[in-house]
A = this chain, B = another copy of it.
Amino acid sequence: MDLFQQYVNANRDRFVAELQALCRQPSVAAQNWGMKETAELVLARLQKLGAQARLIPVAGGAPVVYGEIGSGARTLMFYNHYDVQPPEPLDLWESGPWEAAIRDGKLFARGVSDNKGNLMCRIQAVEAYLAAYGSLPLKIKFVFEGEEEIGSIHLPQFAQENRALLQDVDGCLWEAGYKDVNDRPNVSCGVKGIVYVELHARGAKRDLHSAMAATVVNPAWRLTWALATLKDANDTILIDDYQQHVRPPTQAEMDALAAIPYDEAKVKTDLGIPAFLRNLTGIELLKKYLYEPTCTICGLYAGYIGEGSKTVLPNHAFAKIDFRLVPNLSPDLVLDLLKKHLARRGFDDIEVILTETGEEVARSPLDSAIVRAAVDAATAVYPTPPVLYPTMAGSGPMYPLCQALGIPAVGAGVGWHDSRNHAPNENIRLADYFEGLEFIRELIARFSRLAN
């Protein structure tokens, strides 16, 4: 057992307790709940590490917790976020979302996988690195934002305003990564873009007795009809002029898929679904997963949704919809196409509200130093070899923070396939967490020796 492992083992209980403390502090950006308190907590932890750390305010949002530590020819950025998704629906949690209970070797908490586990793991790995080896072989810059789950509203502005801080960064370890159903760690090199909107339909001044529905407009129907024009039952997005902006994957992009082992049977069993959409399988399934855009109803509401029946004609209905974007779709373009599509079909009564500013697509070169270092580090640390994904199916502010500044980025982390991000019973396995500490050690050591 080397000194790093010895140090980690000696501090194992404290490390877990620190992670639990962070998870017990709610930080729901969508509800502006606990943001300041969490930023202070993370700041204090960086200062305890010995980093030069501070809060960098952003206009009207949760601050970025920024820190620097170490020195060397190379600079590695750790991007993470300390905000989390809303915990609802609460009744489906087996232990409270802020309880940070440990069961069967797993830590359950809202945000433990997305993204507080990774955030704390990286800080503690640096602590262990310093304790074991005395100094860091490179400079590390921590960028921990507090608005990732609401679309990183202010991060593009932060990146622009702090270009000078970031100009020496040679590579970025992106926020997260997951083991697949066969415990192969994923390493990913990009993100889909995203735009999140709400569609609101309104009717009479107030809710009415449903007997009035014979003659008075029902916004729930208006919304239903409008939504039904956006996508068909084959999961094809029908928004006018949408598909023509979807660039088909290149041969190189398709080749990257061929190297991905995706255990479809296990995934289907794990999710409890009989088949994937369109009954896809093999390369075509991965192509849809990684290279096709989505249009997803994330939330739907009208009228009475409580127990039993209520015969009411609602006067308000809304849907929350996210669009995941691939090249060459952009948030602005999608918003524009959506509005025109609805107007053309007489749905002028449906208000389209942009709830977040949206995020652009980003991809890093598969042969960049940070990607090679991550693959090598994962190969060295994990019992099963890593799988390289050309992009995640998810999104994040990789474009403004990395690609726009010429910084290659790679995603890897401590999640597993059943981490349940954004859902009840979010969790990580503690064994993965402690492997993750060693992965960070290896990444630091290996990246310090590679040229871009």
The chain A residues found within 8 Å of chain B, CB to CB, are 29-31, 85-86, 88-89, 92, 114, 149-151, 192, 194, 196, 203-218, 220-221, 223-225, 227-228, 231-233, 235, 270-273, 276-277, 280, 285, 288-290, 292, 294, 296-314, 317-320, 322, 324, 346, 355-356, 392-395, 420-425
Report Cα–Cα, A149/B309, bound state, in Å: 8
Closest to A420 in B: B206
Collect the chain B residues with CB atoms within 8 Å of residue A299's CB: 302-305, 310, 312, 314
Q: Which 5 A-B pairs have the closest CB atoms?
A: A30-B308, A205-B272, A228-B228, A220-B297, A211-B393
Are A314 and B301 in contact, with the CB atoms below 8 A?
Answer: no
Collect the chain B residues with CB atoms within 8 Å of residue A92's CB: 206-207
Report Cα–Cα, A272/B305, bound state, in Å: 24
Report Cα–Cα, A69/B316, bound state, in Å: 46
Collect the chain B residues with CB atoms within 8 Å of residue A393's CB: 211-212, 214
Are A314 and B298 in contact, with the CB atoms below 8 A?
Answer: yes
Are A210 and B298 in contact, with the CB atoms below 8 A?
Answer: yes
Number of copies of this protein chain within its complex: 2
Collect the chain B residues with CB atoms within 8 Å of residue A211's CB: 192, 294, 324, 392-395
Are B306 and A86 in contact, with the CB atoms below 8 A?
Answer: yes
| Option from B231, B235, B280, B355 in Cβ contact (under 8 Å) with A309 | B355
Are A280 and B311 in contact, with the CB atoms below 8 A?
Answer: no
Report Cα–Cα, A395/B213, bound state, in Å: 13
| Option from B270, B276, B298, B301 in Cβ contact (under 8 Å) with A313 | B298
Report Cα–Cα, A150/B304, bound state, in Å: 14
Beyond the given pairs A207-B423, A213-B294, A217-B277, 17 more chain A to chain B contacts, judged by CB atoms under 8 angstroms and listed by A's residue number, are A29-B308, A30-B308, A30-B310, A196-B311, A204-B271, A206-B272, A206-B424, A208-B271, A211-B294, A216-B276, A224-B227, A298-B310, A299-B312, A300-B314, A309-B355, A310-B320, A310-B422
Report Cα–Cα, A217/B420, bound state, in Å: 17
CB distance from A309 to the nearest CB of B (A): 5
Q: Would A298 and B311 be within 8 Å (CB), given that A192-B211, A395-B211 are in contact?
A: yes
Q: Would A320 and B303 be within 8 Å (CB), given that A272-B205, A312-B423 are in contact?
A: yes
Are B296 and A422 in contact, with the CB atoms below 8 A?
Answer: no
CB distance from A32 to the nearest CB of B (A): 8
CB distance from A419 to the nearest CB of B (A): 9
Collect the chain B residues with CB atoms within 8 Å of residue A272's CB: 204-206
Closest to A291 in B: B214
Report Cα–Cα, A210/B196, bound state, in Å: 11
CB distance from A173 to the nearest CB of B (A): 19
Report Cα–Cα, A256/B42, bound state, in Å: 74
